[in-house]
Amino acid sequence: MFTGHFAAAIAAKSVAPRAPLWVYVGASQFVDIVWSGFIMAGIEKVEFDETLKGSPLDLYFMPYTHSLPAALAWSLLATLLARRWWPSGTAAMVGLVTFSHWLTDLLVHRPDLPLGFTGPKLGLGLWNYPQAEMALEIGLLGIATGMWVAQRVRSRQTAWPALLFLAFLVMLQMFASTGAGATTAAALGQSALLAFGLVMLVAALVDRRQPKRMGSL
Ligand SMILES: [Zn+2]
């Protein structure tokens, strides 16, 4: 799961629009942002196996980011951080989006997500069916974008930022697959952080305040 995680961010923006989209985007990948740092530092481990379908990543050790208790703890931390800037409903939404990362990973990962701190490991393995996986990610993005367009139209804003963001993510999904090209943990962590940074930047650009007089599409 790569761009599919952002579906939760877009859906959250349509339900609780007070927090900027880039914050929800960061929350949806908070667990992977920490993971990127941890694999670069050697705290968590990954192997590369090109014979694996869909994604070459053998994620055999990531208890501090991708176990269920860890995902809950990072989500709680995200909620507490968000509470400094936004009301509790919005902060709770930031926490929910953070936790959605683990749930969406559960759909696509091979069994590598520890239910306890070390095991048993869960994962429905949709990565093994790349076309179905791609359809799921783009389908989730489509549904979430529909929600955001509806919310924007209701509040008399233009729909185009939502559509532009969807187009950007679909392109990213088509041309960049998870872990493609990287052969070391350091390179993988670096390219993941760059990708997350880029998506947060584009989210910040499309979600700038629009003057109301532009009307709605
Ligand atoms: Zn993940």
The structural domains of the chain, with segments of one domain joined by +, span 5-207
Ligand 1 centroid–CA 156 distance in Å is 35
215: left (phi over 0), alpha (psi -120 to 50) or beta: left
Q: Write the CA distances from 71 to 14, 66, 193, integer angstroms.
A: 24, 6, 18
Q: How many Å lie between the centroid of ligand 1 and the Cα of residue 153?
A: 32
How far is ligand 1, taken at its centre, from the CA of residue 22, in Å? 18
Handedness of CA 190, 195, 199, 202 (dihedral sign): positive
**Nearest-5° Cα angle at 39, 33 to 42:** 145
Q: Model confidence at 173, in pLDDT bands (50, 70, 90)?
A: confident
pLDDT score recorded for residue 182: 77
Report how far residue 105's alpha carbon sits from residue 66's, in angstroms, rounded to the nearest whole number: 9
The Å distance, Cα 14 to ligand 1 centre, comes to 23
Q: pLDDT-derived band of residue 54, with 50, 70 and 90 as boundaries?
A: confident
The phi and psi torsions of 61 (rounded to 5 degrees) equal -145, 100
Tell me the backbone φ, ψ of residue 43, rounded to 5 degrees.
Answer: -75, -40
Sign, Cα dihedral of 110, 176, 68, 124: negative
- pLDDT given at position 215: 47
How far does the centroid of ligand 1 lie from the alpha carbon of residue 89, in Å?
25
Q: What is the mean pLDDT of residues 8-35?
A: 97
Q: At residue 216, does pLDDT exceed 60?
A: no
Question: What is the mean pLDDT of the segment spanning 95-116?
Answer: 95
